[in-house]
């Protein structure tokens, strides 16, 4: 397949990255290709870090569609001009490396992957801090052996990524989708990970514009009991009440279902705040101190709600990266949508 053919197919499919930001794949590819025109070399990174609690799609895809994922990487390598791509990093969390390394190596022995086999290098995601170690710009620092910190953007990795060279980074599901697009088999579906108080937890594939309620019904996971959901990860995902599920699941499309009666409000908020406090890399004081203060407050029987939300709001406004800035998402949405409290953001 020529470069023009593959990029046209990706464009026509309207393919968006599945890592959370939903950035159009064709724009990213074209941007890296453009930057490579004035550079001798560049890199490709497969991001299989998957560190957010309640999200397990990468594991399922690697387990069931390894050939397609590698084929997506092969297509990217070819589109970006293979001899300009110096290395292809497979950035996996520790468990996935253990589970899949042998199978990946075996798959790479196939003739089809001859052109990329020798460029592949594994990189294990540090287990702490786990969340930020999956963030695009932090991954660049980690592979370069620098401190685990997100980078200021711009410049974006597509122009100045690994070792300041153009870098294409995509997650597992995106490379899988690219493979389907190349075979004209992509039909607008995506993977959903459904978890929590449901009868049939697991990974499902439905159209990406299907309302959440319909996803739950078709997967046999809709319940008559009073419930709410968290969409996009059990830590940073938005919380929606059961009467708000007429929208599609955005971001990573993971859906965590909570039974209202069996969910302890305080315990849930404590879980979120503990996660953020533990995962803060400590770079900025608002995130480092703010998450600590919030967690300490919620542990008490009574707390100053006004002050609590002032800190939450400051995190949204002044955090350096998506970790601190996303803390208000579950907190605000839970108070507003489920507890029905009036919150001024
Ligand atoms: S917001 Fe938090 S995780 Fe992000 S850079 Fe600042 S301290 Fe680190």
**DSSP, residue by residue, 115-168:** HHHTTEEEEEPPSTTTTGGGSHHHHHHHHTT--S-PPPSSSPTTTS-GGGS-EE
For the chain, 345 residues long, give each residue's pLDDT as a single digit of tens.
899 999 999 999 999 988 767 789 999 999 999 999 999 999 999 999 988 888 889 999 999 999 999 999 999 999 999 999 999 999 999 999 999 999 999 999 999 999 999 999 999 999 888 788 999 999 999 999 999 999 998 999 999 999 999 999 999 999 999 999 999 999 999 999 999 999 999 999 999 999 999 999 999 999 999 999 999 999 999 999 999 999 999 888 999 999 999 999 999 999 999 999 999 998 899 999 999 999 999 999 899 999 999 999 999 999 999 899 999 999 999 999 999 998 877
Same domain, 171 and 315: no
Same domain, 252 and 270: no
Decide if 188 is inside a domain: no
Angle between helices 25-36 and 3-13 (to 10 degrees): 150
Same domain, 144 and 212: no
Does the beta carbon of 132 lie inside 6 Å of ligand 1? yes
Three state DSSP letters for 267-304: HHHHHHHHHHHHHCCCCCHHHHHHHHHHHHHHHCCCCC
Same domain, 306 and 329: yes
Decide if 343 is inside a domain: no
Does the beta carbon of 117 lie inside 6 Å of ligand 1? no
Of the candidates 246, 194, 191, 250, the one whose C-alpha atom is nearest the C-alpha of residue 219 is: 194
Angle between helices 66-79 and 3-13 (to 10 degrees): 120
Query: For residue 324, which atom of ligand 1 is closest to its CA?
Result: 1
Same domain, 234 and 321: no
- Distance CA(11)–CA(343), nearest Å, equals 40
Return the pLDDT at 173. Answer: 95
Query: For residue 325, which atom of ligand 1 is closest to its CA?
Result: 1
Decide if 344 is inside a domain: no
Does the beta carbon of 138 lie inside 6 Å of ligand 1? no
Return the pLDDT at 18. Answer: 84
Longest dimension (CA), the chain: 65
H/E element holding 14?
none
97 phi, psi to nearest 5 deg: -60, -45
Does the beta carbon of 320 lie inside 6 Å of ligand 1? yes
CA 283 to centroid of ligand 1, rounded, Å: 5
Residue with CA closest to ligand 1 atom 4: 321
Of the candidates 166, 164, 157, the one whose C-alpha atom is nearest the C-alpha of residue 136 is: 157
CA 280 to centroid of ligand 1, rounded, Å: 5
CA 258 to centroid of ligand 1, rounded, Å: 28
Return the pLDDT at 195. Answer: 95
Residue with CA closest to ligand 1 atom 8: 281
Same domain, 145 and 14: yes
Does the beta carbon of 324 lie inside 6 Å of ligand 1? yes
Same domain, 177 and 32: yes
Same domain, 252 and 291: no
Does the beta carbon of 319 lie inside 6 Å of ligand 1? yes
Query: For residue 319, which atom of ligand 1 is closest to its CA?
Result: 1
Q: How many domains does the chain have?
A: 3
- Distance CA(235)–CA(134), nearest Å, equals 14
| CATH code of residue 317 | 1.20.1440.230
Q: What letters, b where the CB count within 10 A reaches 16 and e where it falls short, cover 175-187? A: bbbbbbbbeeebe
Does the beta carbon of 323 lie inside 6 Å of ligand 1? yes
Decide if 320 is inside a domain: yes
CA 324 to centroid of ligand 1, rounded, Å: 6
Same domain, 272 and 247: no
Decide if 209 is inside a domain: yes
48 phi, psi to nearest 5 deg: -120, 45
| CATH code of residue 40 | 3.40.50.11540
Return the pLDDT at 19. Answer: 75
Does the beta carbon of 315 lie inside 6 Å of ligand 1? no
Same domain, 211 and 275: no
Structural domain boundaries, residue 298? 265-338
Decide if 296 is inside a domain: yes
Same domain, 207 and 237: yes
- Distance CA(100)–CA(106), nearest Å, equals 10
Contact between 164 and 36 under an 8 Å Cβ cutoff? The reply is no
CA 285 to centroid of ligand 1, rounded, Å: 8
Decide if 13 is inside a domain: yes
Return the pLDDT at 331. Answer: 97
CA 55 to centroid of ligand 1, rounded, Å: 21
- Distance CA(145)–CA(28), nearest Å, equals 25
Same domain, 178 and 295: no
Decide if 276 is inside a domain: yes
- Distance CA(83)–CA(218), nearest Å, equals 46
Last residue of a domain, one of 213, 232, 259: 259
């Amino acid at each position: 397949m020529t470069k023009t053919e593959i990029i046209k197919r990706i464009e026509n499919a309207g393919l968006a990255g599945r890592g959370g930001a939903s950035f159009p794949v064709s724009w990213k590819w074209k941007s890296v290709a453009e930057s490579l025109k004035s550079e001798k070399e560049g890199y490709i990174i497969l991001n299989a870090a998957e560190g957010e609690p309640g999200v397990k799609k990468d594991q399922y895809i690697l387990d069931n569609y390894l050939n397609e994922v590698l084929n997506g990487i092969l297509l990217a390598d070819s589109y970006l001009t293979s001899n300009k791509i110096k290395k292809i990093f497979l950035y996996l969390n520790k468990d996935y490396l253990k589970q899949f390394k042998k199978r990946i190596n075996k798959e790479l022995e196939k003739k089809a992957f001859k052109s990329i086999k020798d460029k592949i290098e594994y990189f294990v995601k540090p287990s702490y801090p786990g969340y930020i170690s999956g963030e695009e710009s932090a991954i660049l620092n980690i592979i370069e052996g620098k401190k685990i910190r997100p980078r200021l953007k711009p410049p974006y990795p597509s122009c100045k990524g690994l070792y300041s060279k153009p870098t294409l980074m995509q997650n597992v599901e995106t490379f899988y989708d690219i493979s389907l697009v190349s075979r004209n088999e992509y039909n607008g579906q995506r993977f959903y990970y459904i978890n929590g108080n449901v009868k049939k937890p697991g990974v499902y594939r439905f159209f990406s514009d299907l309302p959440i309620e319909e996803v739950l019904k078709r997967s046999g996971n809709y319940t008559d009991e009073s419930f709410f959901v968290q969409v996009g990860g059990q830590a940073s995902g938005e919380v929606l009440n059961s009467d708000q599920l007429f929208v599609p699941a955005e971001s990573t499309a993971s859906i965590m279902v909570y039974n209202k009666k069996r969910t302890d409000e305080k315990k849930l908020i404590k879980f979120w705040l503990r996660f953020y406090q533990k995962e803060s890399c400590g770079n900025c004081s608002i995130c480092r101190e703010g998450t600590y203060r919030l967690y300490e407050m919620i542990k008490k029987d009574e707390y100053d709600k006004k002050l609590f939300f002032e800190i939450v709001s400051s995190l949204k406004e002044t955090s350096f990266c998506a970790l601190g800035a996303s803390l208000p998402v579950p907190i605000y949405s839970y108070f507003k949508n489920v507890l029905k409290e009036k919150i001024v953001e």
